[in-house]
């Protein structure tokens, strides 16, 4: 029988529903993989073993009683530790909030439980979802399963590492400037930043309110669509939550013949040549599948990244201002440095940045108007050694992800292969607002033609 960690989410849920195996057996199998690998990877900062087993037993009891089963019934899901799980600390990997227990589930966790999921544990992250890999925090940083001397990117670092190593079949991350797609690319898995408002952020500690997204992370595209469907749903207690989000999994198998897909050429020019070559191979794979490939021209990428950085730092400083004034030394140096920069931005500059943001987003929307989706690289560089601060600083933010946080368009990172040194590469597929279904369809067809998900790190 195929090992549980190699099965798609839908197969796990169907197997549990049929009685081929139990939710408890599946949960135990993943807990065993965590126990065997977490000391090397630091992917989890809290393993909720007993809570997960109790929830799995409850799922098995529901099935035995003939209760209706959700699409994720009995499937383990791991949660980035900036998202509330009732009764557990939401630490943000920070001394500031290390003991703060959540009074209730975040809305997205509530939705996943409604779909039948079992909450497996809390995954590692950069402090408050910012900064970078750091060794001066309560828990050591996650490492890349493909080469543990290197970082797995972030800030949803533990979720990406755990998925790549088969320690969890599904995970949640958050994405403010690429923090779901960055580890997706660096770890060779799939990370989706949905449309702004598609998934409620209630119960998620904010980094920058106008840029934050919750995103599903999985090994495969179909898995990601199924997890996305379990996360969506209008939340009346979140004013940014939208009722426009629609399920994507039912249409995952549709072909892409005749689709117009744009290539954002100006976003790719600074990337490492190996990454560009892998992107070009991905574009050719889509052309072979029947898509019409057209060039897209947008404003310079630096305009988007500069405005995104200014807005992120200003909004994050507003959130952390009180603690920065009273507990500055309790922060790690990377988060402290980035957050404090926002205190230097005056209100007029912030408002001008938001005005520039509207112009840039209008140009992006105009560029996408003639196509059904667009493609560009994700990261420009490969993940550096985790202990080389200079290399981390030089490469970490070299990316093309920020524009889609500014605009709120859905963007998925999918693998495009491996470098000569064995590190993963990836590209982004970007769609229209609340059209995750098309993004997933394109990504799934590409994945079927280039099945990188079948490769596993040498652990």
Positions marked catalytic? 80, 155, 179
Other CB atoms within a 10 A radius of the CB of residue 46 amount to 17
Asked whether the beta carbons of 172 and 129 are under 8 A apart, the reply is no
CA distance 264 to 398: 16
Cα 309-297-287 angle, rounded to 5 deg? 110
Token pair of 163 as six digits:
């998925």
What φ, ψ does residue 263 adopt, rounded to 5°? -115, 120
Other CB atoms within a 10 A radius of the CB of residue 16 amount to 26
CA distances to 8, 10, 223, 289, 386 from 255, rounded to whole Å, are 20, 20, 18, 8, 40
Write out the DSSP string of 249-271: GGGTT---TT-EEEEEGGGTTTS
CA distances to 10, 29, 153 from 13, rounded to whole Å, are 5, 15, 30
Other CB atoms within a 10 A radius of the CB of residue 136 amount to 13
CA distance 55 to 116: 10
What φ, ψ does residue 442 adopt, rounded to 5°? -65, -45
Asked whether the beta carbons of 330 and 296 are under 8 A apart, the reply is no
CA proximity to 402, closest of 276, 297, 306: 306
């Amino acid at each position: 029988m195929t090992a549980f960690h190699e099965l798609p989410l839908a197969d796990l849920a169907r197997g549990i529903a049929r009685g081929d195996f139990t939710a408890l057996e599946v949960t135990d199998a993943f807990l065993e993989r965590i126990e065997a690998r977490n000391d090397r990877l630091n992917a989890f900062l809290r393993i909720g073993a007993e809570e997960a087993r109790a929830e799995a037993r409850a799922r098995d009891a529901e099935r035995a009683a003939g209760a209706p089963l959700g699409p994720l019934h009995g499937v383990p899901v791991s949660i980035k530790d900036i998202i509330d799980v009732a009764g557990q600390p939401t630490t943000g990997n920070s001394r500031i909030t290390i003991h703060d227990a959540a009074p209730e589930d975040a809305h997205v966790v509530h939705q996943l439980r409604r779909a039948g999921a079992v909450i497996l544990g809390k995954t590692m992250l950069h402090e408050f979802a910012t900064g970078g890999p750091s060794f001066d925090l309560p828990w050591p940083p996650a490492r890349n399963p493909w080469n543990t001397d290197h970082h797995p990117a972030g800030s949803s670092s533990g979720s990406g590492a755990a998925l790549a190593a088969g320690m969890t079949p599904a995970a949640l991350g958050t994405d403010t400037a690429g923090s779901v797609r960055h580890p997706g690319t660096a770890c060779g898995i799939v990370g989706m930043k949905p449309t702004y408002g598609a998934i409620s952020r209630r119960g998620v500690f904010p980094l920058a309110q106008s840029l934050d997204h919750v995103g599903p992370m999985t090994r495969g595209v179909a898995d990601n669509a199924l997890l996305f469907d379990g996360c969506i749903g209008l939340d009346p207690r979140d004013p940014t939550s939208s009722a426009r989000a629609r399920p994507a999994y039912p249409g995952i198998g549709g072909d892409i013949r005749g689709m117009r897909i744009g290539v954002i050429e100006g976003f790719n020019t600074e990337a490492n040549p190996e990454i560009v070559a892998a992107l070009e191979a991905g574009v050719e794979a889509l052309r072979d599948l029947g898509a019409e490939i057209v060039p897209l021209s947008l404003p310079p990428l630096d305009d988007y990244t500069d405005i995104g950085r200014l807005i992120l730092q200003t909004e994050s400083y507003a959130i952390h201002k009180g603690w920065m004034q009273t507990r500055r030394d309790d922060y790690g140096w990377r988060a402290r440095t980035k957050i404090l920069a926002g205190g230097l931005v005056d209100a007029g500059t912030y408002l001008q940045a938001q005005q520039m943001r509207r112009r840039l987003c209008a140009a992006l929307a105009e560029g996408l108007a003639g196509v059904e989706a667009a493609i560009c690289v994700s990261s420009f560089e490969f993940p550096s050694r985790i202990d080389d601060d200079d290399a981390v600083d030089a490469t970490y933010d070299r990316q093309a992800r920020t524009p889609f946080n500014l605009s709120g368009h859905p963007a998925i990172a999918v693998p495009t292969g491996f470098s000569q040194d064995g590190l993963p590469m990836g590209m982004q597929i970007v769609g229209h607002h609340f059209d995750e279904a098309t993004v997933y369809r394109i990504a799934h067809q590409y994945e079927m033609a280039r099945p990188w998900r079948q490769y596993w790190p040498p652990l």
